[in-house]
Amino acid sequence: MVIKVFLASSSGSTAIKKKQQDVLGFLEALKVDYAPLDIACNEDNRMWMRENVPVEKKPTNGIPLPPQIFNEESYCGDYETFFDAKEDNAVYAFLGLPPPPGSKEAKEAEKAFILENGPVKNGTVENETVESETVENGTDDAEDEENLEAEEVEEENLDDDSLKREVPMDFNGDEHTHEVGGETGEEAAEEAAEEDAATEEKVAKEEEEAVKDTEEAAEDTKAPVKQEEAQEEVEDDEAKGEDDQPVSEGEEDLGSEEEEELRQLEEEEDE
């Protein structure tokens, strides 16, 4: 298969020249064999190109412009479609060529094929192996489920046996006891009652000690108050005693004599 690229060597359009150079340069970089065909110097090439370009790919004036790309007689596309394929890493698909192994396009094509048809091994699709694996896994899963159900049944039986307790019944109306951890129910009840009584006594003692402490603290605070009140009462009594003491006759006579002397002095001064 030969890739044919129709070109115009003597074109006066710089845009056409640049497009032709881009196509040829990219094909050389990919090491794709191609044959450049000049339509400016060869009328047969020009007529063949115009006749083989599909009608829907021709412009409105009906004259396709170079570059035009063919794979033998199969039309690939013009510059715009080539550029789009280059951007999508699909140049080999655009040219109708198998991509070289290891290229990006080859890897993407392999991924797409695997998504559509499943993994390939030695040129054959591994659908059969996948189906066999699923069947084996299905049987294994069924066996695992059965084993799990059997284990659950055994655990339930064990739980039922462990929950069963010997409870001797006395149908004569007498009280009966059942064994719990090697001790009778009455013994356990007595131990619980003793523990409750011990805790109650302990709490009562703590409350009594707390009350005593509060009373002693109150007495300690009241003692200095009482002493102060007693001292104040003694002082008041002493003050009252001094004021209430009777005046003696001698003191009264001295007071009268002093008053008379003062009167005499005043009279003398007046005279």
Report the sign of the C-alpha dihedral through residues 35, 102, 105, 122, in that order.
positive
pLDDT at residue 177, as a whole number: 45
pLDDT at residue 227, as a whole number: 66
The answer to whether 128 touches 63, Cβ cutoff 8 Å, is: no
How far from each other are the two terminal CA atoms of the chain, in whole angstroms?
177
Residues 6+ positions from 119 with CB-CB distance below 8 Å: 125, 126, 130
CA 164 from centroid of its chain's CA atoms: 45
Q: Give the domain ranges of the chain.
A: 3-115
CATH for 3-115 (3.20.20.70, 3.40.30.10, 3.40.1160.10, 3.40.50.2000): 3.40.30.10
User: Distance between CA atoms of 89 and 137, rounded to whole angstroms?
Assistant: 40
Indicate left, alpha or beta for 123 from its phi (over 0: left) and psi (-120 to 50: alpha). Answer: left
pLDDT at residue 232, as a whole number: 74
User: Distance between CA atoms of 133 and 139, rounded to whole angstroms?
Assistant: 10
pLDDT at residue 187, as a whole number: 74
What does each of the 271 residues of the chain score in pLDDT, given as a tens digit? 789 999 998 888 899 999 999 999 999 999 999 999 999 999 999 999 999 999 999 998 889 999 999 999 999 999 999 999 999 989 999 999 998 887 777 777 777 777 777 765 555 544 444 444 444 454 455 566 666 676 665 666 655 555 445 444 544 444 444 444 444 567 777 787 888 888 888 888 888 888 777 777 666 665 565 566 767 776 776 665 555 555 555 555 666 777 787 888 877 777 6
pLDDT at residue 157, as a whole number: 60
